[in-house]
Amino acid sequence: MKLRRHLLSLLALAASVSAFTAPAVAAEYKAEYRMSLVLGPPTPWGQAGKMWADMVKERTQGRINIKLYPGVSLIQGDQTREFSALRQGVIDMAVGSTINWSPQVKELNLFSLPFLMPDYAAIDALTQGSVGQKIFATLDKSGVVPLGWGENGFRELTNSKRPIKSPADLKGMKIRVVGSPIYSDMFTAMGANPTQMSWADAQPALSSGAVDGQENPLFLFTVLKMHTVGQKFVTTWGYVADPLIFVVNKEIWSSWTPADQAIVKQAAIDAGKAEIAIARKGLVEADKPVLKDIAGMGVTVTSLSAEEREEFVKVTRPVYEKWKNTVGVALVKEAEAAVAARKK
């Protein structure tokens, strides 16, 4: 019995010494990580993904290699499935749209509340303040690791029929909208006929005249030369803006060393700041050269006056109030206070 106890104690000692002296085993890294994007370069959105991937590869000395999959090709172009695919591990990381992820994360509908954010300072007040921190905490609880903010920009209205200066001008017009219910509610309230479809389907629909118009950041108009698919009228109204979020799947994140996690996070922050500057270029300057470029394509550009904009605010206010409850009344109040207190 004594001999048995002695042998057991020796075995326990050997095991403890072995555990103490064994080298730490590094997590096994994948040869390549898959990043999902709706739009690729040369759009600002695509550049965000490329800059992030390039920074990560350089700063990790090639330990983390990222391949871009624009057109949400990992999920056959269905952009509203992207967040679910991220949680399931079909996608490793993404620079994603708050709009596309809002069906799964209701708080993200905050940025789609009509006319909440009147200018770029308002966007920054939300994403860079306590509201942004709370949204990140919600995303973390939802199964992804949020790291930084980017920007798709204010969504402006284009169409093939006529200048839009009032809700009456939209009456009966077929407008392509993203697959988030709040957009159908907004355009219905304005008298239009909203049609939900992915961006992959939207381009041929515009070309054929199956839809009359669409709403998107203006960089898309210039990059895709949308005047060639019948979009002859642009209205700048700044009714909603779409921040982008840099995220990583939780299992992928936990497989990296703390040092590499810090590198990936800082790269996301740096790429986000650079991409926001790119997205706003030509629109924050006093003469707004992007609008001049679009007008130079033979397009009629209409910028709403404060009084004209107020008409749209009034007709969409019931939608705002309805969706305030979906987003969360407390979060909306905090956002409204942040916008009111912003530095202009």
Tokens describing residue 56: 């990560």
Interval 185-196 mean pLDDT = 97
CA neighbours within 13 Å on the CB side: how many for 148? 24
Q: What DSSP line would sit under 18-33, residue for residue? A: HHHHSPPPPPPPPS-E
Domains 33-153+242-280 and 156-239+289-340 share a fold: yes
Instruction: pLDDT band for 165, please (50, 70, 90 cuts).
Output: very high
Which of 87-96, 128-137, 150-159, 201-210 shows the lowest mean pLDDT across its residues?
201-210
In the predicted structure, residue 3 carries a pLDDT above the cut 80:
no
Beta strand segments in 52-200, E: 66-69, 93-97, 144-154, 156-159, 174-177, 193-196
Residue 277: alpha-carbon gap to chain centroid: 15
Q: Mean pLDDT across the chain, nearest whole number?
A: 91
For the chain, give every domain's residue range. 33-153+242-280, 156-239+289-340
Class of domain 33-153+242-280: alpha beta
Which of 7-11, 103-107, 206-210, 327-331 shows the lowest mean pLDDT across its residues?
7-11
Fold of the domain spanning 156-239+289-340: D-Maltodextrin-Binding Protein; domain 2 (3.40.190)
